[in-house]
Structure 1
Amino acid sequence: MGFLVRWLFAFVLLALTFNPTEWNYTRWAVTNWQEQMPLAVLGGLVLLVAYVLFLTAVLRGIGALGVMLILAVVTALVWVLVDFGWISLDNPTSNTWIALIALSVVFAVGMYWGILWRRLSGQLEVDDEVEG
């Protein structure tokens, strides 16, 4: 359940920022920049903070090499799905949704990796010093 929650949050963050519909921050900010500049700036800063939190957690969890490896696996999965004819890359709208799903999977794996690693290895990581 923890992975799905992280994936959902990552997907929502990415889709709120940009998606092929008219319901996204990027399109709204461009359209309403003149009339609602302070709100657009505030929204952009809130999204930036969310991205910094996500990216920090992801890079601490799996590192840059891990991001590239997970992205390679997700890309290969998309390739297999295209090769089997289950999805098509002819539609730019569907390509955007595929990219959002792929990036959100990378974010979710990065966020969940520490938990998964502790479960698989049985290791416990302690960052706080115990005062004695």
Structure 2
Amino acid sequence: MSFFLRWLFAFLLIAATYNPTGWNYIELARAHWDDTKSVVTLAGLILLAGYVIYLRATFRSIGAGGVVFVLALFAALLWVATDFGLISISDPGFATWIAIFAGSLVLGIGMSWSIIRRAISGQVDTDDVEE
């Protein structure tokens, strides 16, 4: 359940930033910048804080190589699904949702990797403490 919640928050973070529906930070910031710069800035900083937390945890736990590997694995799965005719990514809106899902999957795995690794291997990760 904890992985699902971490992934869900990552999905909501990315989808709140941009999605094809028009109800997202980027579109609303463009439309309302002149009216409410303070609110747009505050919302942007809140989103930025979420990204800093997720990206820092992801790169500390799985690194750049892990990010590339998870994305490559997802891309291969997507390739197989399109080859077998299970999905079609010709619709730009659907392709955007797939990209949002892939990005949130990377962030969710990165945020949960220590828990996943401990469950699989029994090994515990710790951070270096500087004194």
- TM-score class, shorter-chain normalisation, is over 0.9
Query: Superposed, which structure 2 residues align to 1:14-29 within 5 Å?
Result: 14-29=14-29
If the length of structure 1 is used for normalisation, what is the TM-score?
0.92
Q: Secondary structure at the match of 1:16?
A: helix
Matched residue count: 129
**Corresponding residue of 1:68:** 68
Within 2, Cα distance between the matches of 1:68 and 1:11?
A: 18
1:90 is displaced (CA, Å) by 1.1
Extract unaligned runs of 5+ from structure 2. none
The question of 1:49 aligning with 2:49 is answered: yes
Change (3 A) 1:25 1:65: same
Report the aligned-residue RMSD.
1.4
**Corresponding residue of 2:5:** 5
If the length of structure 2 is used for normalisation, what is the TM-score?
0.93
**Corresponding residue of 2:80:** 80
For 1:53, the aligned partner's letter is I
Change (3 A) 1:122 1:88: same
The question of 1:120 aligning with 2:120 is answered: yes
Change (3 A) 1:80 1:70: same
1:126 is displaced (CA, Å) by 4.4
